Amino acid sequence: MADLQGVYARTEAGVAEIKARALDLTRKQRNLLIVIDGKNALGSFVKMAGCAPEQMDDVFGPLIEHGLIAPVIGTVNPALAQDAPPSGVPSPTLPPAAQELIALAERVFEKHAGPVVLKLEKAAASGADLLTAAESAAKLAKLTIDESKARDFLAEARRLMSA
Alpha helices, DSSP H, located in the chain: 12-20, 27-35, 46-49, 56-65, 96-109, 114-126, 130-144, 147-162
Chosen domain end from 19, 51, 83? 83
Q: Are residues 35 and 57 in the same domain?
A: yes
DSSP reduced 3-state for 55: helix
CB-based contact 37:14 (threshold 8 Å): no
**Mean local confidence (pLDDT), 54-74:** 84
pLDDT bin (cut points 50, 70, 90) of residue 58 is confident
Q: Are residues 120 and 152 in the same domain?
A: yes
Least confident of 65-69, 126-130, 151-155: 126-130
**Mean local confidence (pLDDT), 44-66:** 83
Q: Are residues 47 and 105 in the same domain?
A: no
Q: Are residues 21 and 79 in the same domain?
A: yes
Chosen domain end from 83, 104, 121? 83
Q: Are residues 155 and 100 in the same domain?
A: yes
The pLDDT, as a whole number, for residue 31 is: 85
What is the pTM assigned to this prediction?
Answer: 0.47
3: which residues sit within 8 A by CB, 6+ positions away? 42
In a domain, 38, yes or no: yes
The pLDDT, as a whole number, for residue 93 is: 62
Q: Are residues 25 and 70 in the same domain?
A: yes
Q: Has residue 86 got a pLDDT over 60? A: no
Q: What is d(CA 116, CA 101) in angstroms, rounded to the nearest whole number?
A: 10
- Report how many domains make up the chain: 2
CB-based contact 43:60 (threshold 8 Å): no
CB-based contact 7:40 (threshold 8 Å): yes
In a domain, 68, yes or no: yes
Q: Has residue 70 got a pLDDT over 60? A: yes
**Mean local confidence (pLDDT), 100-127:** 82
Q: Are residues 76 and 124 in the same domain?
A: no
The pLDDT, as a whole number, for residue 153 is: 92
pLDDT bin (cut points 50, 70, 90) of residue 2 is low
The pLDDT, as a whole number, for residue 88 is: 42
The pLDDT, as a whole number, for residue 1 is: 57
Chain-centre distance for alpha carbon 129: 18
Q: 108 is in which domain, residue-wise?
A: 96-162
Chosen domain end from 27, 48, 83? 83
The pLDDT, as a whole number, for residue 148 is: 93
The pLDDT, as a whole number, for residue 106 is: 85
In a domain, 90, yes or no: no
CB-based contact 42:6 (threshold 8 Å): yes
- From residue 126, give the alpha-carbon distance in Å to each of 1, 87, 100, 102, 133: 36, 21, 17, 15, 11
Q: What is the DSSP letter of 85?
A: P
Q: Are residues 121 and 56 in the same domain?
A: no
Mean pLDDT of the chain: 79
Q: Are residues 114 and 136 in the same domain?
A: yes
Q: Has residue 117 got a pLDDT over 60? A: yes
Cα(first)–Cα(last) distance of the chain, in Å?
A: 49
In a domain, 101, yes or no: yes
Q: What is the DSSP letter of 21?
A: -
Q: What is d(CA 12, CA 102) in angstroms, rounded to the nearest whole number?
A: 28
